[in-house]
Structures are given as C-alpha cells and as structure tokens.
C-alpha cells in the first residue's frame, strides 16, 4: 500500500485504509474504489492524503534498481563522516529502513504551483 496526496489519486484505485476525520468519524471505508466523486469529496473535506492499495514500482527489477540507487545516495551523504562511529551507526539504521522500503521522497519537480491548493474559510471577518 502507499500513501498518496489527494491530487495524485486516480479513479479505480482502492483504499487500503479507512479515511477518517480528525474526530475519528469514518468518511470512506477501506476497500472502497476511488471515484471522481470521491476525489472531489476528499478535496472538499480538506483531506491531505489517503492510503491506497498498490505499489510504486511496476516491477521487481524497478524496485531493486531504486533501492540500489537509494543506498548509493545514502553512502554519498555519509561519505565525509566515515570516521565517526555514531554517524556510521545512524547510517546503518537508515540503511536497514531503506531495505524495508522506507525511502525519502524524491526531490520535488519545480512545478509553478503556488498555494498547493489549500483553502481556509474565514469566519466572522
């Protein structure tokens, strides 16, 4: 499963976790298919992201290649502190997480998107 921001949802995806409001009320249940109406509803309710079924990678090779790249990047970031035992321990903690698929998101593409679409209502002003 993977967490996606609402703007990245497409119809046909399947929710892998309940979507709940802050007070715990379930808005959409696990297993529900994502429809256009559902996306609009989620946007209107200011839900930032939801968890859907599926995977980031099209194939196992793609996953392996991505993980290898991620480990290389990790080594590069720590390349100047290799004589520090504590930092090396931290590096290995991160490596273990990377292997479990816990990766930092790739750098954002420079999209000319200004307010990332959030709307706040003003009361009494």
Partner 1 sequence: MVLEEAAAKKRVQLLKNLPTLPGMIDKISRAVESKRFSAADIGKLISRDQVLTAKVLKLANSAFFGFSRKVGSLTQALVLLGFDVVKGLILTSSVFDLMKNKGEDLWRHSMGVASAAAIIATEVGMPDAEEASLAGLLHDLGKVVIRVHMPDDSASINELVEVEGLALREAEREVLGFNHTQVGQWLAESWKLPEQLSEPIRWHHKPEGSRAAPQMTAAVHLADCLVRGFGYGDGGDPWVPPLDRFALKQLGLNSQKLENIVAELCEKLSSANGASMGS
**What residues are paired with 33 via a beta bridge?**
14
CB of residue 103 to partner 1, shortest distance in Å:
5
What is the smallest separation between the CB atom of 5 and partner 1, expressed in angstroms?
A: 4
Whose Cβ is closer to partner 1: residue 25's or residue 120's?
Answer: 120
Residue found by looking up tokens 């970031």 in the block: 77
CA distances from 15 to 31, 44, 90, 105 (A): 5, 18, 34, 21
Question: Which parts of 2-41 interact with partner 1 (CB under 8 A)?
Answer: 2-5, 7-8, 10, 22
From CA 89, how far away is CA 84, in angstroms rounded?
9
- Residue 58 makes contact with partner 1 by CB under 8 A: no
Helix, strand or coil, per DSSP, at residue 84:
coil
From residue 67 to residue 96, the character string flagging contacts with partner 1 as x (rule: CB under 8 A) and all else as - is ---x--xx-xxxxxx--x-xx-xxx-xx--
């Amino acid at each position: 499963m993977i967490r996606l921001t609402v703007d990245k949802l497409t119809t046909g995806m399947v929710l892998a976790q309940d979507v709940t409001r802050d007070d715990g009320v379930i808005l959409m249940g696990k297993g529900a298919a994502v429809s256009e109406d559902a996306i609009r509803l989620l946007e209107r309710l200011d839900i930032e992201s939801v968890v859907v079924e599926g995977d980031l990678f099209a194939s196992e090779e793609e996953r392996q290649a991505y993980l290898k790249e991620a480990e290389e990047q990790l080594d590069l970031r720590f390349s100047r502190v290799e004589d520090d035992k504590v930092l090396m321990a931290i590096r290995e903690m991160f490596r273990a997480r990377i292997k479990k698929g816990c990766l930092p998101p790739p750098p954002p593409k420079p999209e000319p998107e200004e307010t990332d679409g959030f709307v706040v209502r003003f009361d009494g002003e």
